Amino acid sequence: MRGLMMDQPLLISSILKFAARNHVEGEIVSRTVEGPIHRYRYPEWAARSARLANALLGLGVNQGDRIGTLAWNGYRHLELYYGVSGLGAVCHTINPRLFPNQISYIINHADDRWLFTDLSFVPVLEAIADQLTGVKGFVMMTDSAHMPATSLPNVICYEDLLAAESDQIEWPVFDENTASSLCYTSGTTGHPKGVLYSHRSTVLHSYGICLPDSMGLSSSECMLPVVPMFHVNAWGTAYGAPMVGSKLVLPGPRMDGESLQALIEDESVTVAAGVPTIWAALLNHLESSGKRVDSLKRTIIGGSSCPESMIRTFQDRYGVRVLHAWGMTETSPIGVVNTPKLFADTLSEEQRFALGCKQGRGLFGIEMKITDDDDRALPWDGIAMGKLKVRGPWVCSGYYQLDQSSAHQEPGWFETGDVGSIDPHGYLQITDRTKDLIKSGGEWISSIELENIAVGHPDVVEAAAIAARDDRWGERPILIVVKTEGSPLTEAALLAYYEDKVAKWQIPNAVVFCEELPHTATGKLSKLTLREKYEGILETPKG
């Protein structure tokens, strides 16, 4: 028997319509590439998104067409999120930090029809324009006064495009499983792979991130997504905030510590989200300037493991609660968020802190399991460590135009490539990426754990632990470290720092000090580059 409830599809345009009607006072504040702060409210954003959609129709955009964006977090990008997807076309956000050949590959692979770009990325596009096969033209996300001189063909000014259109539109209604946006994830090997989100997955994920045991977005919050809109939809905040009417503060191109502190203070930001590198820069600035972020109640940190020392500093020195979170491009991205349960009140302060350092616990919508090498499910005892697999309505079932994916070998599950344990209360702790684990004499060593300890040392700015080949043990950990300027820290002193923190056999064999560590386009440590350079460091020369 079928239920007798209305069969209304979950569409992204419904978030926009709801926000325009119900959150009339909700502000969207953006730092612009052109310089000044721009501010308007949800109704104006909705009206301009409608103008954009009408303009896209005028440009011949059809349902299913891919429209590429190279843009920072800003109001025009937010208009594209809704104007493009609202029509049933696909908003393809492109990470401008990728290598130029990767950018041209994904634009061609996605077969983007039009590219919308912030002024910052015009040179990136100029360098690859002759390789782009299906692109009809380029829209500069600015007004006529700031139009650049460019060698790009078929260039249109965003504001001129909108000015010529009506702000009235009847948003089309279609199947909620229609594709809405596309984001490529760059593995360390092979071509980037496209994750194709749907309206249904996006709307359900938005509900998920607004839950109080998740990011807890609400109309009484002011949200600052530092995590970019060009990667995994700014962790869904670009949909969640309008859904509940949070004030939204978009940092544009300026994500350094000083600019973020000023924005947080000026706009009274209460909740923020970003990767550890961003917050390390903010904390450094607070430390050196003596400034504060008193309005900030909590920050969601994920994308890489958040070091314990960062959680402590935020909490103890600035009164900011850190919600550690784990997710992936393939999981929209929120998989788990670390919020306390009632039982945490009965724990000692140390135990509570240790629990808060784990990646977090599942939301309804994400089912998890950990398995051994024979794909047998392992117990949730907080000890057994296995391959993490997930499934749910906002987890990808395959990659865009890719027939085979090793991550989907077990039907109905997505293998994350991460290894971890889950405790009886459902808290996940990520040990490592499978390929970053260090296997020494048959035992696994977590590179994340070694890195977290290193950055807890006051003289260490950043650290990477990688496996180096070793004649006797197969692999042994070594540390590559950036230390604070002028620090006298020595290899022996740093290794001694590990002595009461890990078992003796887990202590790295060597420390290499360097000026800078390599990062991927999404800001993670590029272990592949480091392994290529240092993996032979412990080997005895043959011959």
What is the closest distance, in whole angstroms, from the C-beta atom of residue 445 to ligand AMP in the complex?
16
517-536 residues in contact with ligand AMP (CB under 6 A) are: 522
Q: Which of 95, 117, 305, 506 binds ligand AMP (CB under 6 A)?
A: 305
326 binds ligand AMP per the rule CB under 6 A? yes
What is the closest distance, in whole angstroms, from the C-beta atom of residue 366 to ligand AMP in the complex?
13
CB 363 within 8 A of CB 206: no
Binding string, 208-237, against ligand AMP, x = CB under 6 A?
------------------------x-----
Q: Which of 61, 269, 310, 328 binds ligand AMP (CB under 6 A)?
A: 328
117 binds ligand AMP per the rule CB under 6 A? no
- Other C-beta atoms closer than 10 Å to the C-beta of 472 total 9
Which of these ranges, 3-11, 126-134, 151-159, 319-327, lies near ligand AMP under the rule CB under 6 A? 319-327
Q: Which of 208, 245, 257, 333 binds ligand AMP (CB under 6 A)?
A: 333
What is the closest distance, in whole angstroms, from the C-beta atom of residue 398 to ligand AMP in the complex?
16
State whether residue 502 is helix, strand or coil: coil
Cα angle 80, 85, 89 (rounded to 5 degrees) comes to: 110
233-262 residues in contact with ligand AMP (CB under 6 A) are: none
Query: Residue with structure tokens 């006072």?
Result: 25
172-201 residues in contact with ligand AMP (CB under 6 A) are: 185
Cα angle 113, 239, 429 (rounded to 5 degrees) comes to: 110
Which of these ranges, 161-169, 350-358, 412-420, 509-517, lies near ligand AMP under the rule CB under 6 A? 412-420
What is the closest distance, in whole angstroms, from the C-beta atom of residue 414 to ligand AMP in the complex?
11
- The number of residues that bind ligand AMP (CB under 6 A) is 20
Query: Residue with structure tokens 């909108």?
Result: 162
In the 8-state DSSP scheme, what is residue 392? S
417 binds ligand AMP per the rule CB under 6 A? yes
Active site residues: 185, 330, 439, 444
What are the CA-CA distances from residue 31 to residues 55, 254, 329 (Å)?
Answer: 25, 8, 25
Q: Which is nearer to ligand AMP, 87 or 390 (CB)?
A: 390
- Other C-beta atoms closer than 10 Å to the C-beta of 341 total 12
Element (H, E) at 381: none
User: Most distant CA pair in the chain: distance in Å?
Assistant: 79
Q: Which is nearer to ligand AMP, 61 or 357 (CB)?
A: 357
Query: Residue with structure tokens 């070793």?
Result: 470
The one-letter amino acid code at 103 reads I
Outline where DSSP puts E strands in 7-159: 27-31, 37-41, 66-70, 90-93, 114-117, 137-140, 155-157
Q: Which is nearer to ligand AMP, 12 or 388 (CB)?
A: 388
What is the closest distance, in whole angstroms, from the C-beta atom of residue 488 to ligand AMP in the complex?
31
433-492 residues in contact with ligand AMP (CB under 6 A) are: 433
Q: Which is nearer to ligand AMP, 86 or 477 (CB)?
A: 477
Distance CA 249, CA 234 (A): 12
CB 190 within 8 A of CB 174: no
- CA nearest 312: which of 325, 324, 322? 322
Q: Which is nearer to ligand AMP, 233 or 522 (CB)?
A: 522
93 binds ligand AMP per the rule CB under 6 A? no
The residues with which 320 forms a beta bridge, in sequence order, are none
Query: Which chain residues interact with ligand AMP by CB under 6 A?
Result: 185, 232, 302-305, 324-329, 333, 359, 416-418, 430, 433, 522
